[in-house]
Structure 1
């Protein structure tokens, strides 16, 4: 089953990588699976989505193009810029812009504008129960982690090397893809905490996608994330603790659980 899933994701990813290489010099925003004008109810109004996608992401990608102009990164695909700059501490500006854009795209692609909350499959619910005890406990702990972020960052549901689903906070543009760039305030982690030889979980219809085995080696596999940057919630919810909590409540009503499940690769036992 796992082998079949990997073949499917490779088949989806490869044409995207091939078609995008011709335009690799100038990176552009990948289109969303919904419209900015329509918003993503109940989480984001059109005005909020314009700030997050139209303004913030446009600025990130535009600045990234300026930073890589005239450098070896100019010829690289988006995921190559992200991963190669992550390996060099001298390329922090390039990494920060690429990683923040990738995180934002991954977050927005996890959502659905459906008027009704999307049901969670029993397969995904079983995985969450195995890791957290229950779906309700997972949501509570995810919310607690997100509210506990002091400053800007991201809360992630990730898959570790043993197939466990665990929670991870990264600060600023921190990425779960690369140990050196997680930007965690937890220095007790060891190499054994990070997934080795993981498959890329992000083979969706985005120009930021990568072929299998390109992005998640020696790191956690991202499954779901929420942006805890102020620009993500201030338009609709303000900056109070109560507003942040309501933002997270609406987030869970808007998650497309079928997308989340499609990102899981270690499916032994299910």
Structure 2
């Protein structure tokens, strides 16, 4: 019998210090958001360590193990969804050009870039808090916009995530001060800051 123990990998928070000077979205807003992202990374590592310890002790039937495993999905997805969100932003964003591979893909699916964007904005403006996500089905090329509320629930199996728009209130809670937070304005500024080259690379 092997004496080796399960030792999970450790996640490191990515450096997003370059996300300053975005259109509309203030540096203060990004700073608040990045602190929340760092919390997801830390809690993900803590939960992996705790559940690994219980597993190594043969306590997988314990209620603590089971509840921590359930919580891990929330924290890990919270970490990774924020990375998709931040990775897809740049202070030097331009318009989505018609020759961009992502633009070609959504035009083929929706009829135009504007129609795809309106569809995603419609998802993002739905009542409640959560994520508006653009997915690709790698099996048949289908692209669609998807709503996810709780981080760990509702993700389409095998779907390839192309674009993540965070519409939890923490994404715009100190947005455009001293004006009150406005989701519609935030969504418009999000589109103005998307790195479309990054999104296009996610098609592959």
Bucket of the pairwise TM-score, normalised by the shorter protein = 0.7 to 0.9
Q: Tell me how far 1:89 sits from its aligned partner.
A: 8.3
- Kindly report which structure 2 residues correspond to 1:145-164, keeping only aligned pairs within 5 A, or say none: 145-148=123-126, 150-160=127-137, 161-164=139-142
Q: Tell me how far 1:25 sits from its aligned partner.
A: 4.4
Aligned to 1:71, the other structure's residue is in SS state helix
**8 Å contact kept, 1:99–1:173:** yes
Q: Tell me how far 1:50 sits from its aligned partner.
A: 0.8
Aligned equivalents of 1:105, 1:57: Cα separation in 2: 8
**Alignment CA distance shift 1:239-1:227 (3 Å):** farther
Q: Tell me how far 1:167 sits from its aligned partner.
A: 0.8
When the two chains are superposed, the root-mean-square deviation of aligned CA atoms in Å is: 2.6
For residue 4 of structure 2, what is the aligned residue in structure 1?
none
**8 Å contact kept, 2:10–2:45:** yes
**8 Å contact kept, 2:136–2:144:** yes
**Alignment CA distance shift 1:141-1:47 (3 Å):** same
Q: Please tell me whether Structure 1 or Structure 2 has the larger radius of gyration of its CA atoms.
A: 2
TM-score, scaled to structure 2: 0.79
**Alignment CA distance shift 1:90-1:138 (3 Å):** same
Aligned to 1:35, the other structure's residue is in SS state coil
Q: Which moved more, 1:164-173 or 1:58-67?
A: 58-67
Consecutive unaligned residues of structure 2, counting only runs of 5 or more, are 1-6, 55-65
Aligned equivalents of 1:262, 1:230: Cα separation in 2: 28
Consecutive unaligned residues of structure 1, counting only runs of 5 or more, are 1-22, 75-87, 175-180, 184-193, 195-217, 266-270
For residue 35 of structure 1, what is the aligned residue in structure 2?
18
TM-score, scaled to structure 1: 0.61
1:57 has 2:37 as partner: yes
**8 Å contact kept, 2:120–2:132:** yes
1:228 has 2:167 as partner: yes
Q: Tell me how far 1:129 sits from its aligned partner.
A: 1.1
**8 Å contact kept, 1:121–1:258:** no
Q: Tell me how far 1:127 sits from its aligned partner.
A: 1.1
For residue 75 of structure 2, what is the aligned residue in structure 1?
97
User: Deviations along 1:37-80, whole A, 9 cap, x unmatched?
Assistant: xx241142111111111x20121122222222243289xxxxxx
What is the number of equivalent residue pairs in this alignment? 184
**8 Å contact kept, 1:230–1:239:** no
**8 Å contact kept, 1:118–1:256:** no
**Alignment CA distance shift 1:224-1:89 (3 Å):** farther
Aligned to 2:174, the other structure's residue is in SS state helix
